[in-house]
Chain A
Amino acid sequence: MNKTDVLIIGAGPTGLFCAHQLGIIGLGCEIVDNLDKAGGQCIELYPDKPIYDIPAIPECTGKELTNNLLKQIKPFNFNFHLNQRVEEIKKVKDRWQVKTSDNKQFDVASIVIAGGVGSFEPRKFPVKGCEKYEGNTLFYSVKDKSIFKDKTISIFGGGDSALDWAIELSNNSKVNLIHRRDGFSGAEVSVQKVKELNNQGKINLYTKYQLNSVSGEDKINSVKIKHDEGEIKEIKSDYVLGFFGLIMQLGPILDWGLNIDKKKIEVNTENFETNIDGIFAIGDICSYPGKLKLILSGFHEGALAARGCFKYAKPDEKLRFEFTTTSKAAQERLGVKND
């Protein structure tokens, strides 16, 4: 059980800056995110795309913004719990007990939901019957590549994950790469490599095809793929891999009794608390009159929510407003050395 003041759900820019604000006012926090790294949409959807509307930063990429936010909270040494999403929350007396999908448990005074549009989950095949094989012979990510040795693998997708795994697995497996069009979104060097391997007979490339059906008893033994023009081919497959990127799902947050309208959590604009005492929501996931889905709005919301958390963490203390330029306490927390 991790006991601290605040649990932040979501390590996107809004969650990271809220952590900074908590650190400045002397509160502790732990941060949970379902991705394997901090940064949220900035790192997952547009790491290399420029952002032009962060105050005082004329231009930066999603990745640069994330790295700078991480640098800004480094002095506080907050813990990140990645690759897991929060599954359950339970009020016990004045505190919240929280459990993640990785069975990590937290005991906190308040919760800040900075979950964006939800947690990132792999996009799945639209074809009926695929779920039956999921985790057994059909996967949306690779955890243990050794199971593919000497087997026939059908990989679907045209991005970097699909191309990289097609190239990698072609060393020890028979690989079919199936994609809906002739163009690929992955790196050009990988596209060339795949085409080369296709010419050498090491990868069978099928373009303008999509998955039509899967068959097999308990495990997949073949897939049918359908061409744009309607022709159907059956290809033998021991395993199927689908790489269609990630989609955001609100998940268990829907079941916590929060006032939710159109996938957004309603909050007040005084401290961004929800209808449930001690639960705050900030960033893209919150809604209030005039809400702008901008990173800068998330920063503002995080600053106020952090102060809202204070009364739950330290009910007997009063929070005094201070500036980081002059506050000795804040500077100590930041590890600033004053001569």
Chain B
Amino acid sequence: MPKITYKTHDDKTHIIEVQNGLTVMEGAIQNDIPGIDADCGGGMSCSTCHVYVDEEWLDKLPAKEDGEEDMLDMAFEPKKNSRLSCQLIVSDNLDGLVVNIPSKQG
């Protein structure tokens, strides 16, 4: 199973095996990783599953849809490497992905 690394704001690192087909957001929720709220449940409607992707992964991820960039306007402290974790579907290609969880979601 692909391993996803979640770094929380308190500098803790959680390396989690996430099943192919789940989203990076679901991997966090199912494993009680703090800091990802996912209020809307994965509908790309709330921007509370916002993460910062490690630079080296930025180009390897599928491109954002328009709706994702629109929602990121609402996120807490969005940056160039911001993504919504509900839009990142785990596959073998994402094995080793590192995401950083912001200090707040809103």
Binding site for B on A (CB under 8 A): 41, 45-46, 49, 117-118, 123, 126, 157-159, 179-181, 183, 185, 210, 228, 244-245, 247-248, 263, 284, 293
Contacts and interface: CB of A to CB of B under 8 A. Distances in A.
Interface of B: 37, 39-41, 43, 45-48, 66, 69-71, 73-74, 76-78, 80, 104-106
Contacts of B77: 126
B70 A247 contact: no
A284 B66 CA distance: 27
B46 A247 contact: yes
A248 B37 CA distance: 10
Contacts of A210: 78
A interface, by DSSP: helix, strand, loop or mixed? loop
A244 B47 CA distance: 11
Given A45-B46, A244-B73, A180 B41 contact: no
A159 B73 contact: yes
Nearest to B102: A126
A62 to B, nearest CB: 10
Q: Report, nearest first, the 4 A-B pairs whose CB atoms are least far apart.
A: A185-B70, A247-B106, A45-B45, A245-B74
A46 B43 contact: yes
Given A46-B45, A123-B106, A247-B46, A185 B40 contact: no
Contact of B73 (A157, A247, A284, A293): A157
Contacts of A157: 73
Nearest to A179: B73
Interface centre among A41, A118, A179, A245 (most CB of B within 10 A): A245
Nearest to B41: A293
Given A126-B104, A181-B73, A228 B41 contact: no
Contact of A228 (B47, B76, B80): B80
Contacts of B37: 263
B45 A247 contact: no
Contacts of B105: 247
B46 A183 contact: no
